[in-house]
Protein backbone atom coordinates (compact mmCIF):
# COMPACT_ATOMS: atom_id res chain seq x y z
CA UNK A 1 0.00 0.00 0.00
CA UNK A 2 1.30 3.44 -0.85
CA UNK A 3 1.29 6.68 1.12
CA UNK A 4 1.14 10.29 0.06
CA UNK A 5 3.61 13.07 0.76
CA UNK A 6 2.31 15.57 3.27
CA UNK A 7 0.93 18.75 1.73
CA UNK A 8 -1.46 21.51 2.79
CA UNK A 9 -5.06 20.45 2.61
CA UNK A 10 -8.51 21.40 3.90
CA UNK A 11 -10.66 19.04 5.96
CA UNK A 12 -14.19 19.93 7.02
CA UNK A 13 -15.80 18.40 10.12
CA UNK A 14 -19.54 19.10 10.25
CA UNK A 15 -21.08 18.77 13.72
CA UNK A 16 -24.47 17.33 12.82
CA UNK A 17 -25.66 17.58 16.44
CA UNK A 18 -24.01 20.94 17.05
CA UNK A 19 -21.59 19.50 19.63
CA UNK A 20 -18.00 18.18 19.29
CA UNK A 21 -19.00 14.89 20.93
CA UNK A 22 -22.01 14.35 18.66
CA UNK A 23 -22.52 12.87 15.24
CA UNK A 24 -19.86 14.19 12.85
CA UNK A 25 -19.47 14.21 9.07
CA UNK A 26 -15.92 14.52 7.74
CA UNK A 27 -15.03 15.60 4.20
CA UNK A 28 -11.75 16.54 2.54
CA UNK A 29 -11.13 18.98 -0.28
CA UNK A 30 -10.82 17.43 -3.76
CA UNK A 31 -11.93 14.02 -2.52
CA UNK A 32 -15.12 12.08 -3.16
CA UNK A 33 -14.98 10.27 0.17
CA UNK A 34 -17.03 11.08 3.25
CA UNK A 35 -16.81 9.75 6.81
CA UNK A 36 -19.64 9.37 9.28
CA UNK A 37 -18.38 9.35 12.88
CA UNK A 38 -20.67 8.38 15.76
CA UNK A 39 -20.47 7.08 19.29
CA UNK A 40 -22.40 3.91 20.00
CA UNK A 41 -25.09 5.90 21.81
CA UNK A 42 -25.63 7.97 18.64
CA UNK A 43 -25.90 4.99 16.32
CA UNK A 44 -29.64 5.37 15.64
CA UNK A 45 -29.12 8.87 14.25
CA UNK A 46 -26.12 7.76 12.22
CA UNK A 47 -27.95 4.81 10.66
CA UNK A 48 -30.73 7.15 9.47
CA UNK A 49 -28.30 8.96 7.17
CA UNK A 50 -28.24 8.18 3.45
CA UNK A 51 -24.51 7.44 3.52
CA UNK A 52 -25.18 4.35 5.61
CA UNK A 53 -27.20 2.71 2.82
CA UNK A 54 -24.16 2.69 0.53
CA UNK A 55 -21.13 0.40 0.17
CA UNK A 56 -18.17 1.33 2.32
CA UNK A 57 -15.50 0.40 4.80
CA UNK A 58 -15.72 1.03 8.53
CA UNK A 59 -13.81 0.74 11.79
CA UNK A 60 -15.13 0.15 15.28
CA UNK A 61 -12.94 1.44 18.12
CA UNK A 62 -12.91 0.76 21.82
CA UNK A 63 -10.72 -0.82 24.48
CA UNK A 64 -9.61 -4.25 25.62
CA UNK A 65 -10.41 -5.41 29.14
CA UNK A 66 -6.91 -4.20 30.05
CA UNK A 67 -7.68 -0.70 28.78
CA UNK A 68 -5.60 -0.86 25.59
CA UNK A 69 -6.89 0.61 22.33
CA UNK A 70 -8.74 -1.94 20.21
CA UNK A 71 -10.01 -1.88 16.63
CA UNK A 72 -12.21 -3.84 14.25
CA UNK A 73 -12.12 -3.23 10.49
CA UNK A 74 -14.96 -4.27 8.18
CA UNK A 75 -16.64 -3.67 4.83
CA UNK A 76 -20.23 -3.86 3.64
CA UNK A 77 -22.51 -3.44 0.65
CA UNK A 78 -24.83 -1.48 2.95
CA UNK A 79 -22.93 0.03 5.87
CA UNK A 80 -25.90 0.48 8.18
CA UNK A 81 -27.18 -3.09 7.91
CA UNK A 82 -23.75 -4.53 8.65
CA UNK A 83 -22.98 -2.23 11.58
CA UNK A 84 -26.37 -3.00 13.18
CA UNK A 85 -25.21 -6.62 13.41
CA UNK A 86 -22.28 -5.53 15.55
CA UNK A 87 -24.49 -3.97 18.24
CA UNK A 88 -25.17 -7.37 19.77
CA UNK A 89 -22.27 -9.21 18.14
CA UNK A 90 -19.42 -7.09 19.53
CA UNK A 91 -19.34 -5.54 22.97
CA UNK A 92 -15.96 -3.76 23.06
CA UNK A 93 -16.61 -0.86 20.69
CA UNK A 94 -17.77 2.60 21.66
CA UNK A 95 -17.33 4.48 18.37
CA UNK A 96 -17.86 3.90 14.67
CA UNK A 97 -16.14 5.57 11.71
CA UNK A 98 -17.68 4.66 8.34
CA UNK A 99 -16.32 5.76 4.96
CA UNK A 100 -18.27 5.86 1.72
CA UNK A 101 -18.21 7.80 -1.53
CA UNK A 102 -20.29 10.86 -2.39
CA UNK A 103 -20.45 9.89 -6.07
CA UNK A 104 -21.22 6.17 -5.64
CA UNK A 105 -17.64 5.43 -6.73
CA UNK A 106 -17.17 2.46 -4.40
CA UNK A 107 -18.27 -1.06 -5.30
CA UNK A 108 -17.85 -4.43 -3.56
CA UNK A 109 -14.36 -5.01 -4.93
CA UNK A 110 -13.24 -1.51 -3.94
CA UNK A 111 -14.38 -1.80 -0.32
CA UNK A 112 -12.88 -5.28 0.02
CA UNK A 113 -9.59 -3.82 -1.21
CA UNK A 114 -9.82 -0.99 1.33
CA UNK A 115 -10.62 -3.42 4.14
CA UNK A 116 -7.63 -5.60 3.26
CA UNK A 117 -5.39 -2.54 3.04
CA UNK A 118 -6.40 -1.21 6.44
CA UNK A 119 -6.01 -4.61 8.08
CA UNK A 120 -2.56 -5.09 6.57
CA UNK A 121 -1.45 -1.68 7.81
CA UNK A 122 -2.86 -2.23 11.32
CA UNK A 123 -1.28 -5.67 11.59
CA UNK A 124 2.11 -4.40 10.45
CA UNK A 125 2.00 -1.34 12.73
CA UNK A 126 0.93 -3.51 15.71
CA UNK A 127 -0.02 -0.41 17.72
CA UNK A 128 -3.62 -1.34 18.55
CA UNK A 129 -5.16 -4.67 19.49
CA UNK A 130 -7.17 -6.07 16.56
CA UNK A 131 -10.55 -7.77 16.99
CA UNK A 132 -10.44 -9.21 13.47
CA UNK A 133 -9.82 -12.95 13.35
CA UNK A 134 -9.01 -13.14 9.63
CA UNK A 135 -6.93 -10.98 7.31
CA UNK A 136 -8.21 -11.34 3.74
CA UNK A 137 -6.00 -10.75 0.75
CA UNK A 138 -7.00 -7.81 -1.47
CA UNK A 139 -9.20 -8.80 -4.41
CA UNK A 140 -7.79 -8.55 -7.94
CA UNK A 141 -8.48 -5.14 -9.50
CA UNK A 142 -7.61 -3.58 -12.81
CA UNK A 143 -4.67 -1.21 -12.77
CA UNK A 144 -6.97 1.81 -12.95
CA UNK A 145 -9.32 0.55 -10.21
CA UNK A 146 -6.36 -0.30 -7.99
CA UNK A 147 -4.96 3.21 -8.41
CA UNK A 148 -8.35 4.70 -7.48
CA UNK A 149 -8.59 2.45 -4.41
CA UNK A 150 -5.06 3.35 -3.31
CA UNK A 151 -5.90 7.03 -3.63
CA UNK A 152 -9.07 6.57 -1.56
CA UNK A 153 -7.07 4.66 1.07
CA UNK A 154 -4.39 7.35 1.25
CA UNK A 155 -7.02 10.03 1.88
CA UNK A 156 -8.61 7.94 4.63
CA UNK A 157 -5.23 7.66 6.31
CA UNK A 158 -5.04 11.45 6.48
CA UNK A 159 -8.37 11.62 8.31
CA UNK A 160 -7.92 8.81 10.86
CA UNK A 161 -5.33 10.63 13.04
CA UNK A 162 -7.65 13.65 13.29
CA UNK A 163 -10.14 11.31 14.94
CA UNK A 164 -7.56 9.97 17.38
CA UNK A 165 -7.01 6.72 15.46
CA UNK A 166 -3.31 6.04 14.89
CA UNK A 167 -3.60 2.29 14.46
CA UNK A 168 -2.54 2.26 10.81
CA UNK A 169 0.81 4.00 11.06
CA UNK A 170 3.93 2.24 12.34
CA UNK A 171 5.72 4.05 15.15
CA UNK A 172 8.90 4.12 13.07
CA UNK A 173 7.07 5.84 10.22
CA UNK A 174 5.62 8.46 12.54
CA UNK A 175 9.02 9.17 14.07
CA UNK A 176 10.51 9.58 10.59
CA UNK A 177 7.68 11.86 9.47
CA UNK A 178 8.04 13.99 12.58
CA UNK A 179 11.78 14.38 12.12
CA UNK A 180 11.46 15.19 8.42
CA UNK A 181 9.54 18.34 9.35
CA UNK A 182 12.41 19.57 11.52
CA UNK A 183 15.47 21.51 10.39
CA UNK A 184 17.66 19.69 12.93
CA UNK A 185 18.17 15.89 12.93
CA UNK A 186 15.77 13.95 15.18
CA UNK A 187 16.91 13.91 18.79
CA UNK A 188 17.40 10.44 20.22
CA UNK A 189 16.84 10.17 23.94
CA UNK A 190 18.09 7.45 26.26
CA UNK A 191 16.90 5.77 29.44
CA UNK A 192 19.27 3.84 31.71
CA UNK A 193 17.54 3.08 35.01
CA UNK A 194 16.90 0.05 37.21
CA UNK A 195 18.48 -2.29 34.68
CA UNK A 196 16.46 -0.97 31.73
CA UNK A 197 18.29 0.40 28.68
CA UNK A 198 16.18 2.17 26.11
CA UNK A 199 16.29 4.65 23.28
CA UNK A 200 13.40 6.73 21.97
CA UNK A 201 12.17 9.88 20.29
CA UNK A 202 9.39 12.39 20.79
CA UNK A 203 6.67 12.36 18.13
CA UNK A 204 3.62 14.54 17.59
CA UNK A 205 1.24 12.23 19.46
CA UNK A 206 3.45 10.67 22.11
CA UNK A 207 6.80 8.98 22.48
CA UNK A 208 8.33 6.16 20.41
CA UNK A 209 10.57 3.54 22.02
CA UNK A 210 13.04 2.25 19.45
CA UNK A 211 13.38 -1.40 18.48
CA UNK A 212 16.09 -3.18 20.48
CA UNK A 213 15.46 -1.28 23.72
CA UNK A 214 15.66 -3.51 26.81
CA UNK A 215 13.03 -3.46 29.55
CA UNK A 216 13.34 -5.01 33.00
CA UNK A 217 11.64 -8.37 33.27
CA UNK A 218 10.90 -7.80 36.97
CA UNK A 219 8.29 -5.34 38.17
CA UNK A 220 8.30 -3.19 41.29
CA UNK A 221 5.91 -4.03 44.12
CA UNK A 222 4.26 -0.63 43.72
CA UNK A 223 3.65 -0.90 39.96
CA UNK A 224 0.20 0.34 38.95
CA UNK A 225 -2.27 -2.17 37.53
CA UNK A 226 -2.42 -0.20 34.28
CA UNK A 227 1.35 -0.44 33.79
CA UNK A 228 1.40 -4.16 34.62
CA UNK A 229 -1.41 -4.77 32.14
CA UNK A 230 0.39 -2.72 29.48
CA UNK A 231 3.53 -4.83 29.84
CA UNK A 232 1.54 -8.06 29.76
CA UNK A 233 -0.37 -6.99 26.66
CA UNK A 234 2.82 -6.01 24.83
CA UNK A 235 4.27 -9.44 25.60
CA UNK A 236 1.13 -11.19 24.36
CA UNK A 237 1.32 -9.24 21.10
CA UNK A 238 5.03 -9.92 20.63
CA UNK A 239 6.14 -6.30 20.99
CA UNK A 240 8.14 -7.36 24.06
CA UNK A 241 10.02 -10.67 23.96
CA UNK A 242 12.29 -12.41 26.50
CA UNK A 243 16.03 -11.94 25.91
CA UNK A 244 18.80 -12.84 28.37
CA UNK A 245 16.72 -12.17 31.45
CA UNK A 246 15.20 -8.97 30.10
CA UNK A 247 12.44 -7.99 27.67
CA UNK A 248 13.47 -6.63 24.28
CA UNK A 249 11.35 -4.40 22.03
CA UNK A 250 10.96 -6.32 18.76
CA UNK A 251 9.70 -3.22 16.94
CA UNK A 252 9.40 0.52 17.37
CA UNK A 253 6.36 1.20 19.55
CA UNK A 254 4.50 4.43 20.18
CA UNK A 255 3.27 5.29 23.70
CA UNK A 256 0.93 8.09 24.68
CA UNK A 257 3.59 9.80 26.80
CA UNK A 258 7.28 9.64 27.80
CA UNK A 259 6.25 8.53 31.29
CA UNK A 260 4.26 5.54 30.04
CA UNK A 261 7.20 4.55 27.85
CA UNK A 262 9.60 4.86 30.77
CA UNK A 263 7.28 2.97 33.10
CA UNK A 264 7.02 0.00 30.74
CA UNK A 265 10.82 -0.11 30.48
CA UNK A 266 11.57 0.02 34.20
CA UNK A 267 8.59 -2.06 35.32
CA UNK A 268 7.15 0.58 37.61
CA UNK A 269 6.27 4.24 37.99
CA UNK A 270 8.62 6.69 36.26
CA UNK A 271 8.71 10.38 35.37
CA UNK A 272 9.51 10.26 31.69
CA UNK A 273 10.52 13.92 31.53
CA UNK A 274 13.33 13.14 33.95
CA UNK A 275 14.12 9.54 32.96
CA UNK A 276 14.71 10.26 29.26
CA UNK A 277 17.96 12.11 28.56
CA UNK A 278 20.04 13.08 25.54
CA UNK A 279 23.57 11.83 24.93
CA UNK A 280 25.02 14.56 27.17
CA UNK A 281 22.72 13.68 30.09
CA UNK A 282 20.27 16.56 29.69
CA UNK A 283 16.76 15.53 30.69
CA UNK A 284 13.74 15.77 28.42
CA UNK A 285 12.29 18.29 30.88
CA UNK A 286 15.33 20.56 30.49
CA UNK A 287 15.20 20.20 26.70
CA UNK A 288 11.50 21.11 26.58
CA UNK A 289 12.03 24.06 28.94
CA UNK A 290 14.83 25.39 26.69
CA UNK A 291 12.58 25.14 23.65
CA UNK A 292 9.86 27.16 25.35
CA UNK A 293 12.35 29.76 26.54
CA UNK A 294 13.63 30.27 23.02
CA UNK A 295 10.18 31.17 21.62
In the predicted model, is pLDDT for residue 49 greater than 90? yes
77-119: per-residue pLDDT in tens?
999 999 999 988 899 999 999 999 988 778 999 999 999 999 9
Higher pLDDT among residues 52 and 105, named by residue: 52
Question: Which of 27-41, 51-65, 102-116, 178-192 bottoms out in mean pLDDT, i.e. has the lowest?
Answer: 178-192
Query: 251 pLDDT band (50/70/90 cuts)?
Result: very high
State the pLDDT at residue 178. Answer: 46
Contacts of 293 (CB under 8 A, 6+ apart): none
Q: How far apart are CA 21 and CA 32, in angstroms?
A: 25
> What is the arithmetic mean of pLDDT over 282-290?
91
Q: How far apart are CA 80 and CA 89, in angstroms?
A: 14
Q: How many helices (H) and strands (E) does the chain have?
A: 9, 14
In the predicted model, is pLDDT for residue 53 greater than 60? yes
The shares of helix, strand and coil residues in the chain, as percent rounded to the nearest 5, are 35, 25, 40
Q: Reduced to 3 states, what is the DSSP secondary structure of residue 71?
A: strand
Largest CA distance in the chain: 59
Q: How far apart are CA 115 and CA 179, in angstroms?
A: 30
State the pLDDT at residue 172. Answer: 65
State the pLDDT at residue 22. Answer: 85
Rama region for 206: left / alpha / beta (φ>0; ψ in -120 to 50; rest) = left
Amino acid sequence: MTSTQARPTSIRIFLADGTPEGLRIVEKSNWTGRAVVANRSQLERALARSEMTQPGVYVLTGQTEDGAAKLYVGEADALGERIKQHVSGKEFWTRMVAFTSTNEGLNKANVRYLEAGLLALAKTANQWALDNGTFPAPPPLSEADRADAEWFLAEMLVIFPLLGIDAFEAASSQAAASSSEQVEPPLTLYLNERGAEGAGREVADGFVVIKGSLARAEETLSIHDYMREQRQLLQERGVLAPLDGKLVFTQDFRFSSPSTAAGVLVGGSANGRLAWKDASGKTLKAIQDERLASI
